[in-house]
Structure 1
Amino acid sequence: MRGVLFDSELESLLRDDLHHLDLTTVYMGVESERGVARLVSRSRGVLAGVEEAADVYEKAGATVGYLLGSGSEVSSGAVVLEAEGRASSLHAAWRVAQALVSYMSGVATYTRLMVEAARRVNPRVVVATTRQTPPGLRRLWLKAVLAGGGVVHRQSLSDEILLFRNHLVFAGGRGLGEVVRSLKARVGYKRVGVEVGSLEEALEAVEAGADYVQFDHVDPATLRSWVSRLRSEFSGVSIGVGGGVDLENVGEYAATGVDVIVTSAPYHAKPLSFTTIMERRP
């Protein structure tokens, strides 16, 4: 994977931490000393954000000679990145670089665990994350999801048509089926998806031509029977579920036979632990 941050964003991250100058390095008089910085994992997990960390070091004036790519599995003590340069460059970059890898690897690791738990009971199910990322961090968090083996449900509102209850508020009294038929007549080749809260809503949506229905906050036992009913009548429809799905219950939801499990849980994952160790070079 390549880094997803633009030069201006890298500069902003560095400026946020460095501000005016690194007082400690300046007053020690060691700015020009040469050294190497190694980013080391303190725990087991799945890497993400290493390419962005490398870009941060390069932007600060260091040279990255080694890195493990996003998606790699690491254990405690593994060196995941090595950068060489002036002490001023290494100290300007290391905290920002380490934080990026720590947070993004936490998301990637949680995603991998969810995917593995879901596919143990339903090998074809997809774990897809929402667009409910922390503001300003969407590209980074979505990359971390991909590194963990998940997929992106929607990157933005422009990706596809997904009808929610709050859309129907503005439908001028038209029912769900009528709105779905209207959308299908206008959007051409694009799929139409609908979030539903009951079997009746799902049947109405699919009968009107919806390509995808996504159940919201339905317990696994109820969902299993609804999926079975839909499959028996509409074999071609895609079925998803979202709302409250996390690592603890993803296996139960996967066992219902849905095609897609939609979740935001990885975005709240605990960061993976890393440390940065520096060494002077003559």
Structure 2
Amino acid sequence: MISDLPEIITRPLVQAALSEDLGRRGDVTSQAVIPADRMAAFSIVTRVPGVVCGLELARQSFALMNENLEFTAYKNDGDVIAAGTLLARVAGNARSILAAERTALNFLTHLSGIATTTHEIQKSIAYTGVQLTCTRKTIPNLRIVQKYAVRMGGGRNHRMGLDDAILIKDNHIALSGGDIITAVKQAKSYAGHLIAVEVEVDTLEQLRQVLDEGVSLVLLDNMSIEEMRTAVSWCKGRCQTEASGNLRPDTVVAAAETGVDFLAMGYLTHSARYLDIGLDYADNQNILKK
């Protein structure tokens, strides 16, 4: 089971999710109707095809509930899977498994949905050579794992946070005096040699000014397809280009064909569908012996 996220990062997320669901008394339904010593085995199975992501968080969900539960993964994050694929099995105390079920599946279905959406969109534009990136439009406190899911789907990450790079937007320009060149010069002076400077431009005239000043990357915000093509031709050999704004599955191909280097797509994290994954009871004592 492959994951490039250290447990020290993900464990607090899983703990918080379990605590939220367990509340003050734990799983009162299971406590009421299932004997405390009942053992059971369950299979985690996909209902639809996609790209799996979040298996390690699912494992941690069960392990934090009961360290004696046995979790066996049969796939790795990033694997492309068919409907009906067995992803993992969990066996042990039935109450513990059911108490952690929803937390485990919430991580799995959400992150697999992001990975699947990213994979599908990246595949649709692969012939262009354009790289698909996510944005900071993420669920609070889940950014690290959502951006991880984008990587598992074949996408790339934009800034993880405000401290990664300088991205000058229209509000920054307005509040720094209203002049885009002044804002760029101030940013370059502040940045040093290790912080990239990217500037958002809304018009070709703004782009012309920025290119004369020199930046690492320009963000072409809500430009038309024709404007993007022109912008790309101007930037070739001078800086990289990134398109943003109104990018959806039905508009992304046209944007990619303009020749931009990157597509910044908030859709990947804020609008990706959940992947249908279930926890199925296996009424078979042989599974418990494996």
Q: Sort the TM-score into its range (normalised by shorter chain).
A: over 0.9
Write the distance in 1 (CA, Å) between the matches of 2:46 and 2:76.
13
- Answering whether residue 28 of structure 2 is matched by residue 23 of structure 1, we say yes
Write the distance in 1 (CA, Å) between the matches of 2:141 and 2:191.
30
Q: What does the per-residue CA deviation read over 1:230-267, in whole Å, with 9 as the maximum and x for residues that have no partner?
A: 32xxx131111100112111111111010011111112
Q: Is the 8 A contact 1:184 1:209 kept in 2?
A: no
Alignment of 1:1-282 (within 5 A): 1-3=3-5, 5-19=9-23, 20-61=25-66, 62-120=69-127, 122-123=128-129, 125-173=130-178, 175-189=179-193, 190-231=195-236, 235-267=237-269, 268-280=271-283, 281=285
Write the distance in 2 (CA, Å) between the matches of 1:73 and 1:230.
36
Number of residue equivalences: 276
Q: Is the 8 A contact 2:219 2:243 kept in 1?
A: yes
Write the distance in 2 (CA, Å) between the matches of 1:179 and 1:23.
58
Give the drift of 1:154: 0.7
Q: Is the 8 A contact 2:55 2:73 kept in 1?
A: no
Write the distance in 2 (CA, Å) between the matches of 1:184 and 1:27.
64
Q: Is the 8 A contact 1:203 1:230 kept in 2?
A: no
Q: What does the per-residue CA deviation read over 1:146-191, in whole Å, with 9 as the maximum and x for residues that have no partner?
A: 1111111111000001101100122135x21122123223322122
Give the drift of 1:279: 2.6
Write the distance in 1 (CA, Å) between the matches of 2:182 and 2:4.
44
Give the drift of 1:215: 0.5
Give the drift of 1:116: 1.0
- Give TM-score, length-normalised by structure 2: 0.90
Q: What does the per-residue CA deviation read over 1:91-122, in whole Å, with 9 as the maximum and x for residues that have no partner?
A: 111121112111111111111111111222x1
Write the distance in 2 (CA, Å) between the matches of 1:65 and 1:45.
20
Give the drift of 1:50: 1.3
Partner letter of residue 107 of structure 1? I
Q: Secondary structure at the match of 1:258?
A: coil
Partner letter of residue 113 of structure 2? G
Q: Secondary structure at the match of 1:151?
A: coil
Give the RMSD, CA atoms, in angstroms: 1.7
Stretch deviating more after TM superposition (217-226 or 179-188): 179-188
Stretch deviating more after TM superposition (4-13 or 68-77): 4-13
Write the distance in 2 (CA, Å) between the matches of 1:110 and 1:49.
15
Q: 1:29 to 1:127 in 2, by over 3 A?
A: closer
Q: Is the 8 A contact 2:201 2:221 kept in 1?
A: yes
In structure 2, list runs of 5 or more residues that go unmatched: none
Q: 1:80 to 1:171 in 2, by over 3 A?
A: same
Q: 1:67 to 1:60 in 2, by over 3 A?
A: farther
Write the distance in 2 (CA, Å) between the matches of 1:279 and 1:31.
19
Write the distance in 1 (CA, Å) between the matches of 2:235 and 2:18.
52
The percentage of aligned residue pairs carrying the same residue is 26
Write the distance in 1 (CA, Å) between the matches of 2:64 and 2:190.
47
Q: Is the 8 A contact 2:136 2:160 kept in 1?
A: yes
Q: What does the per-residue CA deviation read over 1:110-149, in whole Å, with 9 as the maximum and x for residues that have no partner?
A: 11111111222x12x1111101112222112111111111
Write the distance in 2 (CA, Å) between the matches of 1:56 and 1:2.
18
